[in-house]
């Protein structure tokens, strides 16, 4: 599994108070002409990006119906510049995970996320995508898409009404507004790493082995080693008999 | 013969609708997001724009709309019968919590998203009051069983759907402080339901008094 996690909210916690003060000093006191240019670029850049978040046409379950309703004329999503539901992950900025994430679908979701061009965002819509919802202990369901890919906004509801989804999208816009080209990962040197796809093992239907599978996921070599290990154990057992 | 007439008809409809929207904008200049206007636009009589301009205007919520649950408490009343505002929290001061921590809601909850810890007296005896009450709103499926089964009318379904957040493990696990809302709020969002409850309560009290 990847170490990439959704960016936490900048909460001024007592332990990181000094860091927070440093950050404020850096941002507000030590302003060089270069910083002003960067701030201006940020503003233009974020304005453009927040008003053209193109989602991927990607529905998994009943939440997708509400997503379709949001894009229809009554709750017109195009008022936010998000009406272009792209059929290809290469052209999409936002993945609205609308519905239950089954284990069968998990590798495809991660693959689609990896194929999206940066900057990319993920919105977990509804109870199932956020935390598994009523199926959170189901044998065939991943309890929350955040176990597979980093999530930017969680929208609760079962399913969320179109207004609730629009509110979630507005929260995402606020998040985009707070980003600066100094910090964002896609302007750093070197290619960004994709998230390894979870491999469906032979024991994927056993929820007691969930952790084991998570550890194994994304490394076929380990799976092979495991199979050999099991085989040798069985052989040694047979020898003992 | 008449090829493409359907297309022209459809475009004509779209065009007249757009023109009516523009005319309406001029007619209602300065009060574009008026609530009565929205209701008229959404009704059969509406002629112009049909879209709900969400952040500025919100669609009317029916009384039985269900979103995540909240807990009802009786607010403290002053001499005039008006609720006292607690200066520390800015909310109405708590007089009596309706919840008795019986745990029926957590038992009937289909996705099992409610955790309750019952309060105890200093001697260690259980008290009919919740010490802790958590609802994972990201698991809640808004079914309303908790509100349906609660024998004390202590848990009700909220109308507030603007709960999206950037993380879920802190802000989306609602605790007692977040869940507690005054009975006046319940009366405001569920007027018919509240009236029925009050009538039932009064009838029961009258029957009890008659027995004595």
Q: Which of B60, B91, B106 is the last residue of a domain?
A: B60
Instruction: Assess if residue B209 is contained within a domain.
Output: no
Instruction: Assess if residue B106 is contained within a domain.
Output: yes
B91 lies in the same domain as B150: yes
B34 lies in the same domain as B87: no
**B110 CB near a chain A CB, below 8 Å?**
yes
Whether B49 has a pLDDT exceeding 80, the answer reads yes
Structure confidence at residue B107 (pLDDT): 93
pLDDT tens figures, A9-54: 554 455 677 888 877 777 777 667 887 888 899 999 999 999 999 9
Show residues of chain A in contact with B53, CB under 8 Å: 79
pLDDT tens figures, A43-75: 999 999 999 999 998 889 899 999 999 999 889
**B56 CB near a chain A CB, below 8 Å?**
no
Whether A3 has a pLDDT exceeding 60, the answer reads no
Residue that has been written with the tokens 């959704």 in this structure: A6
- From CA B97, how far away is CA B129, in angstroms rounded? 7
B74 lies in the same domain as B109: yes
Low-confidence winner among A90-104, A111-125, B74-88, B100-114 (lowest mean pLDDT) = B74-88
pLDDT band for position A1 (cuts 50, 70, 90): very low
B54 lies in the same domain as B94: no
**Six-digit token string for B35:** 């609530």
B114 lies in the same domain as B31: no
B73 lies in the same domain as B137: yes
For the segment A145-164, the average pLDDT, to the nearest whole number, is 90
B50 lies in the same domain as B75: no
Q: How far is B104 from chain A (nearest CA, A)?
A: 18
Structure confidence at residue A47 (pLDDT): 93
B113 lies in the same domain as B157: yes
Q: How far is B211 from chain A (nearest CA, A)?
A: 46
**Six-digit token string for A105:** 């679908």
Instruction: Assess if residue B80 is contained within a domain.
Output: yes
For the segment A188-207, the average pLDDT, to the nearest whole number, is 63
pLDDT tens figures, B128-167: 999 999 999 999 999 999 999 999 999 999 999 999 988 8
Give backbone dihedrals phi and psi of B117, rounded to 5 degrees, phi first. Answer: -120, 125
Could you tell me the fold of the domain covering A14-187?
Rossmann fold (3.40.50)
Given an 8 Å threshold on Cβ–Cβ distance, is A9 in contact with B142? Answer: no
Instruction: Assess if residue B81 is contained within a domain.
Output: yes
Query: Which residues have CB under 8 Å from A139's CB, separation 6+?
Result: A205, A206, A207
Instruction: Assess if residue B7 is contained within a domain.
Output: yes
Structure confidence at residue A191 (pLDDT): 67
Neighbouring C-alpha atoms within 13 Å toward the C-beta of B38: 16
Instruction: Assess if residue B136 is contained within a domain.
Output: yes
Mutation target among B137, B142, B164 for the A interface, most CBs of A within 10 A = B164
Whether A105 has a pLDDT exceeding 70, the answer reads yes
Give the per-residue SS3 of A82-131: CCCCECCHHHCCEEEEECCCECCCHHHHHHHHHHCCCCCEEEEEHHHHHH
How many domains does one find in chain B? 2
CA nearest to A173 within chain B: B166
Given an 8 Å threshold on Cβ–Cβ distance, is A156 in contact with B140? Answer: yes
CA B4 remoteness from chain centre: 49
Whether A6 has a pLDDT exceeding 70, the answer reads no
Structure confidence at residue A53 (pLDDT): 93
Q: Report the Cα–Cα distance between both ends of chain A, in Å, rounded.
A: 39
Residue that has been written with the tokens 């019986």 in this structure: B102
**A38 CB near a chain B CB, below 8 Å?**
no
For the segment A169-196, the average pLDDT, to the nearest whole number, is 82
Given an 8 Å threshold on Cβ–Cβ distance, is B161 in contact with A127? Answer: no
The residue with greater pLDDT, B144 or A140, is B144
Given an 8 Å threshold on Cβ–Cβ distance, is A175 in contact with B161? Answer: no
Given an 8 Å threshold on Cβ–Cβ distance, is B167 in contact with A6? Answer: yes
Q: How far is B155 from chain A (nearest CA, A)?
A: 17
What are the structural domain ranges in chain A? 14-187, 207-240
Full residue range of the structural domain in which residue B146 is found: 69-184
The CATH number assigned to the domain holding B175 equals: 3.30.70.3270
Show residues of chain A in contact with B135, CB under 8 Å: none
pLDDT tens figures, B56-107: 888 889 999 999 999 999 988 888 878 888 877 778 888 888 999 999 999 9
Residue of B141, B143, B164 lying closest to A167 (CB–CB) = B164
Query: Which residues have CB under 8 Å from A197's CB, separation 6+?
Result: A107, A110, A111, A114, A217, A218
**A179 CB near a chain B CB, below 8 Å?**
no
Residue B179's closest CA among B54, B53, B42, B70? B70
B4 lies in the same domain as B96: no
Structure confidence at residue B157 (pLDDT): 94
Q: How far is CA B65 from CA A62, A155, B60, B192, in A?
A: 18, 17, 10, 13
Residue of B51, B161, B167 lying closest to A157 (CB–CB) = B161
Q: How far is B80 from chain A (nearest CA, A)?
A: 39
Residue A125's closest CA among A86, A90, A84, A169? A169
Structure confidence at residue A2 (pLDDT): 43
Show residues of chain A in contact with B58, CB under 8 Å: 163
The residue with greater pLDDT, A39 or A192, is A39
Structure confidence at residue A204 (pLDDT): 43
The complex's ipTM works out to: 0.89
Q: How far is B55 from chain A (nearest CA, A)?
A: 8
Q: How far is CA A148 from CA A54, A103, A111, A134, B159, in A?
A: 22, 11, 11, 19, 31
CA nearest to B160 within chain A: A164
- From CA B125, how far away is CA B120, in angstroms rounded? 5
- From CA A194, how far away is CA A114, in angstroms rounded? 5
Structure confidence at residue A73 (pLDDT): 87
Instruction: Assess if residue B189 is contained within a domain.
Output: no
- From CA A160, how far away is CA B181, in angstroms rounded? 22
Instruction: Assess if residue B149 is contained within a domain.
Output: yes
Residue of A73, A157, A160 lying closest to B50 (CB–CB) = A73
B25 lies in the same domain as B101: no
Structure confidence at residue A165 (pLDDT): 94
- The pTM assigned to this predicted structure is 0.81
Query: Which residues have CB under 8 Å from B210's CB, separation 6+?
Result: none
């Amino acid at each position: 599994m990847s170490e990439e996690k959704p960016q936490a909210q900048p909460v001024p916690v007592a332990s990181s108070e000094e860091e927070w003060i440093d950050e404020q000093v850096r941002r507000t006191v030590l302003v060089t002409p270069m910083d002003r240019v960067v701030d201006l670029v940020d503003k233009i850049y974020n304005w453009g990006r927040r008003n053209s978040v193109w989602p991927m046409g990607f529905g998994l379950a009943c939440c997708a119906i509400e997503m379709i309703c949001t894009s229809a004329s009554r709750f017109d999503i195009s008022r936010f510049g998000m009406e272009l539901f792209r059929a290809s992950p290469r052209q999409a900025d936002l993945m609205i995970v609308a519905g239950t994430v089954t284990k069968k679908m998990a590798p495809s979701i991660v693959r689609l996320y990896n194929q999206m061009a940066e900057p990319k965002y993920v919105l977990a819509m509804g109870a199932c995508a956020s935390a598994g919802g009523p199926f959170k202990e189901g044998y065939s369901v991943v309890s929350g898409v955040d176990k597979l890919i980093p999530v930017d906004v969680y929208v609760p509801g079962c399913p969320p009404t179109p207004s609730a989804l629009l509110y979630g999208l507005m929260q995402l816009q606020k998040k985009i507004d707070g980003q600066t080209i100094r910090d964002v990962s896609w302007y750093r040197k070197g290619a960004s790493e994709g998230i390894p796809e979870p491999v469906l093992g032979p024991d994927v239907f056993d929820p007691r082995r969930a952790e084991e599978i998570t550890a194994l996921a994304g490394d076929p070599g380990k799976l092979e080693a495991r199979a050999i290990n099991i085989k040798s154990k069985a052989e040694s057992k047979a020898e003992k008999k | 013969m008449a090829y493409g007439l359907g297309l022209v008809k459809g475009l004509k409809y779209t065009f007249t609708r757009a023109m009516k929207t523009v005319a309406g904008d001029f007619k209602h200049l300065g009060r574009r997001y008026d609530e009565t206007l929205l209701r008229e636009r959404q009704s059969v009589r509406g002629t112009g724009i049909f879209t709900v301009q969400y952040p500025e205007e919100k669609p009317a919520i029916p009384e039985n709309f269900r979103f995540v649950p909240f807990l009802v408490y009786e607010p403290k009343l002053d001499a005039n019968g008006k609720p006292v505002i607690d200066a520390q929290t800015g909310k109405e001061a708590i007089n009596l919590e309706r919840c008795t921590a019986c745990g029926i809601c957590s038992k009937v909850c289909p996705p099992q998203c409610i955790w309750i810890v019952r309060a105890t007296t200093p001697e260690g005896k259980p008290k009919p009051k919740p010490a802790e009450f958590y609802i994972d709103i990201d698991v809640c499926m808004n079914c309303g069983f908790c509100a349906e089964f609660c024998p004390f009318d202590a848990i009700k379904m909220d109308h507030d759907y603007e709960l999206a957040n950037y993380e879920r493990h802190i802000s989306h696990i609602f605790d007692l402080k977040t869940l507690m809302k005054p009975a006046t709020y319940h009366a405001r969002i569920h007027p018919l339901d509240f009236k029925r409850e009050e009538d039932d309560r009064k009838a029961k009290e009258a029957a009890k008094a008659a027995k004595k």
